[in-house]
């Protein structure tokens, strides 16, 4: 039989041993979570709620993020495809907040309607990079916007249209997704610079897709026919759809001048074939910058609030030489 004294002694020894184990576990846990300022790519869980797969541009953007996540050796990429639906993107962001990711990089399908979910991310202490298109939410609700200057792209497109129609004329516009930073910015920039002697007869959305651009172009041709001298098309996928409709209606390359945006291989081929007369660049290869900015934010470093991509305009005379070097 154990005496009361021995039982008390045994209990005291067990308590001491348990306390020792607990502090050892805490030490291990502390060692697993680096101090802010010393995170590496291997610590990063990055959320990328992609908006969809509507265009070659988007496919290249998704590939860039996935490839660079691998190249930089990040711990985990949580990637989803919202199929161009804002409600799907919002659910994906909420799921990432629930998983307590390190950074959310969000390419928003439209500009409005992000305030609530961005506030939730901010309250959870998760930094947010707005990628590609812009949002109308207060800039205090996110950390950085990284992407193209869509207004400038529109201005560049108008300069090309002015050059191609020096005596003026009538044009139609194939608009991207209504309410998206890309389409609204391009449309505003275009109108800002377009010469007074060029009239925009009509503007309809093709939602940045080839499939939707075909019936819209058919309807333009039916309604305005030979009145149309030019088309401003918000991306190369819609330009390829429009060209299909023009071919089917018996048009030849150059009958209607086309200014497009993106600079995809498809756009380059259409320039070589004589259909597109100028292609304004929009660069989707944002993977390296997204991941480097994400790490800087994890480490509490200062990052510029807006980082715009340096872009150019491509022309048919250079297309054949450049097409093989295009990465998208
Ligand atoms: O936001 C970028 C735009 O989105 C690209 O111009 C277009 O191709 C894509 O769908």
Our CA angle for 229, 235, 237, nearest 5°, is 100
Outline where DSSP puts E strands in the chain. 45-50, 76-81, 103-106, 128-131, 144-147, 169-175, 198-205, 230-233, 257-262, 278-281, 306-308, 313-314
Q: How many Å separate Cα 274 from the centre of its chain?
A: 29
- For residues 43 and 102, what is the distance between their CA atoms, to the nearest angstrom? 9
pLDDT tens digits, residue range 302-324? 999 999 999 999 999 999 999 99
Say what the pLDDT of residue 169 is: 98
- For ligand 1, say whether the CB of 208 is within 6 Å of any of its atoms: yes
- For residues 277 and 161, what is the distance between their CA atoms, to the nearest angstrom? 9
Say what the pLDDT of residue 32 is: 63
Residue 66 predicted with pLDDT over 60: yes
Whether 251 and 294 have beta carbons less than 8 Å apart is answered as no
| pTM of this structure | 0.90
pLDDT interval class at 29 (50, 70, 90): very low
- For residues 103 and 47, what is the distance between their CA atoms, to the nearest angstrom? 6
Task: Indicate the average pLDDT of the chain.
Answer: 92
pLDDT tens digits, residue range 277-299? 999 999 999 999 999 999 999 99
Residue among 298, 293, 255 at smallest CA distance from 275: 255
Our CA angle for 86, 100, 288, nearest 5°, is 70
pLDDT interval class at 301 (50, 70, 90): very high
CA 163–ligand 1 middle distance (angstroms): 24
- From the DSSP assignment, how many helices (H) and strands (E) are in the chain? 11, 12
- For ligand 1, say whether the CB of 268 is within 6 Å of any of its atoms: no
- For ligand 1, say whether the CB of 186 is within 6 Å of any of its atoms: no
Whether 79 and 66 have beta carbons less than 8 Å apart is answered as yes
CA 237–ligand 1 middle distance (angstroms): 9
Q: Which of 108, 180, 284, 308 to mutate to test the pocket of ligand 1 (most atoms within 8 A of CB)?
A: 284
- For residues 18 and 10, what is the distance between their CA atoms, to the nearest angstrom? 12
- For ligand 1, say whether the CB of 262 is within 6 Å of any of its atoms: yes
Say what the pLDDT of residue 149 is: 98
- For residues 152 and 311, what is the distance between their CA atoms, to the nearest angstrom? 10
The number of CA neighbours under 13 Å toward the Cβ of 252 is 0
Phi, psi of 10 (to 5 degrees): -60, -45
pLDDT interval class at 36 (50, 70, 90): confident
Residue 195 predicted with pLDDT over 50: yes
pLDDT tens digits, residue range 67-112? 999 999 999 999 999 999 999 999 999 999 999 999 999 999 999 9
Tokens of 299: 């480490």
Unique residue bearing structure tokens 């172009």: 217
Say what the pLDDT of residue 305 is: 98
């Amino acid at each position: 039989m154990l005496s009361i004294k021995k039982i008390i002694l045994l209990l005291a020894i067990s308590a001491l041993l348990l306390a020792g184990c607990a502090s050892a576990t805490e030490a291990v846990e502390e060692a697993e979570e680096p101090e802010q300022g010393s995170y590496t790519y291997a610590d990063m869980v990055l959320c990328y709620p992609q908006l969809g797969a509507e265009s070659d541009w988007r496919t290249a953007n998704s590939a860039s993020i996935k490839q660079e996540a691998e190249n930089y050796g990040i711990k985990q990429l949580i990637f989803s495809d919202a199929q161009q639906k804002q409600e799907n993107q919002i659910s994906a962001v909420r799921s990432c907040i629930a998983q307590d990711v390190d950074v959310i990089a969000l390419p928003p399908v439209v500009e409005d309607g992000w305030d609530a979910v961005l506030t939730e991310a901010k309250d959870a202490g998760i930094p947010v990079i707005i990628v590609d298109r812009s949002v109308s939410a207060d800039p205090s609700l996110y950390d950085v916007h990284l992407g193209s200057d869509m207004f400038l792209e529109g201005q560049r497109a108008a300069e090309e249209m002015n050059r191609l129609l020096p005596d003026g004329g009538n044009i139609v516009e194939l608009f991207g997704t209504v309410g998206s930073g890309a389409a609204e910015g391009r449309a505003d920039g275009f109108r800002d610079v377009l010469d007074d002697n060029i009239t925009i007869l009509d503007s309809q959305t093709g939602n940045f897709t080839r499939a939707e651009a075909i019936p819209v172009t058919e309807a333009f041709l039916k309604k305005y026919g030979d009145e149309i001298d030019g088309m401003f098309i918000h991306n190369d996928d819609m330009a390829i759809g429009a060209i299909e409709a023009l071919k089917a209606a018996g048009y030849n390359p150059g009958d209607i001048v086309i200014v497009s945006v993106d600079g995809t291989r498809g756009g380059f081929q259409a320039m070589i074939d004589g259909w597109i007369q100028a292609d304004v660049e929009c660069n989707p290869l944002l993977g390296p910058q997204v991941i480097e900015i994400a790490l800087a934010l994890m480490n509490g470093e200062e990052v510029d609030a807006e980082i715009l991509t340096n872009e150019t305009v491509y022309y048919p005379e250079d297309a054949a030489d450049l097409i093989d070097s295009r990465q998208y």
